[in-house]
Structure 1
């Protein structure tokens, strides 16, 4: 009987070793695939070279936005993802302007930070405007979603390109872009979108949104969507794509 037990253990160890080997191969393949996908996007990065992009981390100052059930403030998530996005864009050769660098909001004569964010885009003659926010509603709601101005065909195409990359790369949302009447969208003459990166009101999604690794994944997905849009997988970009009056 003892011999049978020993043989069974040996077989069990062999099976376990085989499973671990398969797991290692899968992880290596997944990492390789992820690396290859990043390289594919980087190969198209010429599309963002010399583009002027304003990245707008939503909220800040006395308005921290929504707060997750675990206490995560929206404005910090928005800023972290925006900063990573700005890094990717800069590495691709874009000229990037953040509407805020820290918890402070842009100040100006208007006294309205939303007005100042739009004014910055006009001042630098931006080609694209990307506003980053977290959604908040019911704790059961989840998933990132893009919004665009209904009068902007190019804004819609940009939103679709970014939404597609978020869905493909993060595989945790089935939402589609929607048009919305928002000040930072309707006052722009360039392709402009709001990226709601997820529901901070959802406990599980809140943890993801507070995770630096996930923040990087989200930022790269947004970047990949921008690259695809500018490279022509969505129609052309820049000054030629300004919103019709």
Structure 2
């Protein structure tokens, strides 16, 4: 009887060892694939060189946005992802401007925070405007989603390029970009999008969105979409951005 138990234990240990080996190989392969994909995107980073990009961390100040079930405020997640996105864009050679650098917002002469965000893009003659937000509805909805102005074909193409990278890299959504009437979109002559990075109202997604590693992944997915758009790998490499710049005073 003891020998039978011993043999079973040996088999069990061998099985566990085999499982661990398979897991180790899979993790190594995943890291290798991830590294290859990042290198592929970095190889196209010339596309963002000298581009002027305004990254807009949604909310801030007295308006913290939505709050997750565990108490995570949206404005902090928006800022964290926006700052990582700004780093990636800067490393690619873009000139990046954040509409806010911390928890505070600048209301400026207009006294309207949203107006000042758009005015910043106009002041620096931005090529792209990317606003980062978290969605909120109920605890079941999940997944990132892009929004663009219905009158902006290039905004739609930029949204499609970013949405495709989020879907491919994070596999957290089957959503598609939608048009929406939003002030920060309709008041701009350049490609502008709102990136709803996920539903903060979903407990599981709230936990992910608060994780710095996931924030980096999300920021890189957005960056990859921007690179593909500008490089012509995603939809539209030329359009409103260049036209608006030529028409700028």
For the criterion TM > 0.5, the same-fold answer is yes
Q: 2: distance between equivalents of 1:8 and 1:65?
A: 57
SS of the residue corresponding to residue 129 of structure 1 reads strand
Deviation at 1:11, TM superposition (A): 1.8
Whole-angstrom distance in 1 between the partners of 2:106 and 2:157: 28
Q: Name the SS for the 1:38 alignment partner.
A: helix
CA–CA separation in structure 2 for the residues paired with 1:112 and 1:9: 70
Aligned to 1:221: 221
Structure 1 equivalent of residue 241 of structure 2: 239
1:242 Cα offset (Å): 4.2
CA contact (8 A) 1:154 1:241 kept: no
Q: Are the structure 2 counterparts of residues 241 and 167 from structure 1 closer, same or farther at C-alpha, using a change threshold of 3 Å?
A: farther
The alignment partner of 1:53 has SS state of: strand
Once superposed, what is the RMSD of the aligned Cα atoms?
1.2
Aligned residues: 243
- State the partner residue of 2:178: 178
Is the 8 Å Cα contact of residues 160 and 176 (structure 2) preserved in structure 1?
yes
Distance of aligned partners of 1:174 and 1:242 in 2 relative to their CA distance in 1, 3 Å threshold: farther
Aligned to 2:79: 79
SS at match of 1:141: coil
Cα distance between partner residues in 1 of 2:243 and 2:82: 23
Query: Are residue 153 (structure 1) and residue 150 (structure 2) matched?
Result: no
TM-score by length of 1: 0.97
**Superposition TM-score, scaled by structure 2 size:** 0.95
Does structure 2 conserve the Cα–Cα contact (< 8 Å) formed by 1:143 and 1:173? yes
Residues 46 and 93 in structure 1, CA contact (< 8 A), matched pair in contact too:
yes
> Contact 1:74–1:134 (CA<8 Å) still a contact in 2?
yes
Q: Which residue of 1 aligns with 2:58?
A: 58
- Offset of residue 60 of structure 1: 0.4
CA distance in 2, matches of 1:179, 1:242: 21
